[in-house]
Amino acid sequence: MNQSRLVRLQSQPDALSDLLAGLSVAQWQRRVQPGKWSIAEQLAHLARYQVVFRQRIDLICQTDQPHFDRYMADDDPDFAPWLTRLPDELLTQLQQDRAEINNKLAALTGGQLRRTGTHPTFGAMDIEGWTEFFLLHEAHHFLSIMRLAASARHG
């Protein structure tokens, strides 16, 4: 695995500490815009998507060129239970699952890293590509959390 990606996988979640510092649970759970996710809902999505990502990596390693549908939380029956978790529980789960992902990806061989799975928009991607996609997706949600946190702090 590209060293830069491994470092980002390990360190990117650290940004959440700064983004969420000083916010109350009520601020985490407040929807700033109707129809848009709260901070807590963003975190639930990130936590659930880590599980989906890990499952996809496992499937890519075990199956020849699997095809995946675009992940949509609203269409995922396993997403709803994540919405009931407390923010601290979500953060703990995010950390635990990320450690497992980091260990798994760091242990893959060059041949495993070159295995591909097909995304409906981006086409065939190897595990390096899927990992880059995962990191960019997560960063997008971190930016949303940053905006929501600023709104919560400054009304």
User: For position 112, which CATH number holds?
Assistant: 1.20.120.450
Q: Give the Cα separation of 29 and 41 in Å (integer).
A: 7
Residue whose token pair is 């959440």: 16
Could you tell me the residue range of the domain that residue 48 belongs to?
A: 3-154
- Model confidence pLDDT, tens digit, residues 56-113: 999 999 999 999 999 999 999 999 999 999 989 999 999 999 999 999 999 999 999 9
pLDDT 10s digits, 111-155: 999 999 999 999 999 999 999 999 999 999 999 999 999 999 997
Whether 122 contacts 129, CB under 8 Å = yes
Residue 116, SS3 per DSSP: strand
Give the whole-angstrom CA distance, residue 45 versus residue 148.
15
Domain count, the chain: 1
pTM of the predicted protein model:
0.95
Cα 51 to Cα 53: distance, rounded to the nearest angstrom:
5
